[in-house]
Amino acid sequence: MGMTMSQKILAAHAGLDEVKAGQLIEAKLDMVLGNDVTSPVAINVFEENGAASVFDNTKIAMVMDHFTPNKDIKAATQVKQVRTFANKYDIKNYKDVGQMGIEHALLPEQGLVGPGCLCIGADSHTCTYGALGAFSTGVGSTDMAAGMISGKAWFKVPSAIKFNLVGKPQGYVSGKDVILHIIGMIGVDGALYKSMEFCGEGIKYLSIDDRLCIANMAIEAGAKNGIFPVDDITREYCSGRYKGTPVEYTADEDAEYDEEYTIDLSTLKSTVAFPHLPENTKTIDEIGPRDVKIDQCVIGSCTNGRITDLRIAASILKGRKIAKNVRCIIFPGTQTIWLQAMHEGLFDIFVEAGAVVSTPTCGPCLGGHMGILAAGERAVSTTNRNFVGRMGHVDSEVYLASPAVAAASAVTGYITDPAKL
């Protein structure tokens, strides 16, 4: 029996000719990732185990993004611990204020992950890098510690679901709408511990930013990872950027899948996930123009904080004003994206519309800082989760949407179809 893309990457890193779903393997890692919340726990485990060195100081990334710039004394203490560790072991990819970005936007941008690599990260959205043809998945801080020490991790080889994408997205439909549609279709546990493998001629119409968004939210369907095949779009993105040696894997024709779906991208509509699960989706035409009044709009995050996302938002906000009593907060994904957006004049558009532009941070996405919701407030957000209390008070609500829908909603004060502005 043939292997899927994910299984081939795992087999290669385990030094095996083949692997099968359910098999337990030990595999060599190309990248181990942590942030300012998860790295301190991993460091404690590292030290408790008496480790005196890391396996490779070039294959560990520590990105200070969740509560930075530090929001309080606890956050500052956590970052100080990570900074001290990074200095002690000369961690080459330690990213702090001034060099940092939101981790899952930063690592692809800086070429730290790429085609064929195997990456673990102590953050659930590490699955983002599957957009580049990598096997990447989130782990606990204990696994991060073990990875930093040994350069290896244990895996249970996942089975897979195949998503055959056909057709070309129309109008304002983007990668965010594709993944929200899929999660709405299969549910938040529809791909539990499975690999979501995307293929089909429709992929050529999805930019790298679209793919990064889709792979990022594979975990919201319970998946172990999401992955795209490498094509010319991937190669162009990684050329001169990826610091490793790219290796391209394709699924065998006789690869085994638990399920297969065909999705016609040309039929999809802008999609919104209502509280309190990403699977609770409605298409924009199922939402009345004054059905959902909002108090806050968040555009950014590791899901939708890339330059194309900001350009889309700016195209809608240009010449318009944010609605009265709506707070619109925009978070570029990295310092590089921040600069690019500024030089393109996008900041002028945002500020003139009445929005505020923040430094890159995960803050509002997880209810950490820079945009907390009070009881009874509603936010439309381009982030990836809308669980109870995710962005603040347990009695607040989060509606997940694309940058286009979020920007249009900020203008009207209600969840709005951007095509009808």
Tokens of 101: 């970005």
What is the predicted pLDDT for the residue at 365? 85
What is the predicted pLDDT for the residue at 156? 97
Q: Is residue 7 part of a domain?
A: no
Tell me the pLDDT band of 41, cut-offs 50, 70 and 90.
very high
Q: For helices 73-88 and 39-48, what crossing angle results, to 10°?
A: 50
User: Does residue 390 carry a pLDDT above 90?
Assistant: yes
Which of 213, 234, 263 finishes a domain? 263
What is the predicted pLDDT for the residue at 372? 93
Are 145 and 101 contained in the same domain? yes
Q: How far apart are CA 286 and CA 405, in angstroms?
A: 14
What is the predicted pLDDT for the residue at 394? 95
User: Does residue 68 carry a pLDDT above 90?
Assistant: no
HSE-CB of 96 using CA atoms within 13 angstroms? 15
Q: How far apart are CA 331 and CA 353, in angstroms?
A: 15
User: Does residue 160 carry a pLDDT above 90?
Assistant: yes
Q: How far apart are CA 17 and CA 39, in angstroms?
A: 34
What is the predicted pLDDT for the residue at 363? 85
Tokens of 203: 């992929």
What is the predicted pLDDT for the residue at 298? 97
Number of domains composing the chain: 2
Are 275 and 259 contained in the same domain? no
Coil vs helix vs strand at 320? coil
Q: Is residue 2 part of a domain?
A: no
What is the predicted pLDDT for the residue at 100? 81
272-323: pLDDT as tens digits: 999 999 999 999 999 999 999 999 999 999 999 999 999 999 999 999 999 9
Tell me the pLDDT band of 367, cut-offs 50, 70 and 90.
confident
255-260: average pLDDT:
96
Structural domain harbouring 351: 271-420
Q: Is residue 8 part of a domain?
A: no
Are 145 and 225 contained in the same domain? yes
What average pLDDT is seen over the chain? 96
Tell me the pLDDT band of 368, cut-offs 50, 70 and 90.
confident
Cross-strand partners of 328: 297
Q: CA 163 from chain center: how many Å?
A: 19
Tell me the pLDDT band of 76, cut-offs 50, 70 and 90.
very high
- Helix and strand numbers (H, E) in the chain are 13, 18
What is the predicted pLDDT for the residue at 400? 98
Tokens of 238: 């990684």
Contact status, residue 25 vs residue 19, Cβ threshold 8 Å: yes
188-197: average pLDDT:
96
373-380: average pLDDT:
96
User: Does residue 1 carry a pLDDT above 90?
Assistant: no
Q: Is residue 339 part of a domain?
A: yes
Q: Strand 271-273 relative to strand 281-283: parallel, antiparallel, unpaired?
A: antiparallel
Are 223 and 301 contained in the same domain? no
Q: CA 191 from chain center: how many Å?
A: 17
Are 222 and 309 contained in the same domain? no
Q: How far apart are CA 145 and CA 49, in angstroms?
A: 9
Are 283 and 143 contained in the same domain? no
- The vertex-218 CA angle with 217 and 220, nearest 5°, equals 65
Which of 263, 282, 306 finishes a domain? 263
Tell me the pLDDT band of 334, cut-offs 50, 70 and 90.
very high
Are 170 and 37 contained in the same domain? yes
Residues with Cβ within 8 Å of residue 405, at least 6 apart in sequence: 172, 270, 272, 284, 380, 415, 416, 417, 418
What is the predicted pLDDT for the residue at 364? 83
Residue type, 391: M
Are 389 and 310 contained in the same domain? yes
Tokens of 231: 């094509």
89-113: average pLDDT:
95
Q: CA 22 from chain center: how many Å?
A: 26
Q: Is residue 4 part of a domain?
A: no
Q: Is residue 140 part of a domain?
A: yes
Are 156 and 244 contained in the same domain? yes
The C-alpha R_g of the chain, in whole angstroms, comes to 20
Sign of CA pseudo-dihedral 334, 335, 336, 342: positive
Q: How far apart are CA 213 and CA 182, in angstroms?
A: 13
Q: Is residue 6 part of a domain?
A: no
Among 65, 57, 126, smallest CA distance to 99 is for 65
Are 84 and 113 contained in the same domain? yes
Residues with Cβ within 8 Å of residue 65, at least 6 apart in sequence: 35, 36, 95, 100, 101, 102, 103, 106, 360, 361, 362
What is the predicted pLDDT for the residue at 362? 87
Q: How far apart are CA 221 and CA 116, in angstroms?
A: 23
| Structure-derived torsion over alpha carbons of residues 137, 138, 142, 147, reported in degrees to the nearest 10 | 30
Q: Of the given ranges (119-133, 173-187, 380-394), which has the lowest mean pLDDT?
A: 380-394
Are 98 and 213 contained in the same domain? yes
| CATH number for 68 | 3.30.499.10
What is the predicted pLDDT for the residue at 346? 98
Number of other CB atoms surrounding residue 160 within 10 Å:
28
Q: Is residue 3 part of a domain?
A: no
Are 374 and 357 contained in the same domain? yes
Which of 239, 263, 287 finishes a domain? 263
User: Does residue 397 carry a pLDDT above 90?
Assistant: yes
Contact status, residue 164 vs residue 203, Cβ threshold 8 Å: no
What is the predicted pLDDT for the residue at 336? 96
Q: CA 366 from chain center: how many Å?
A: 13
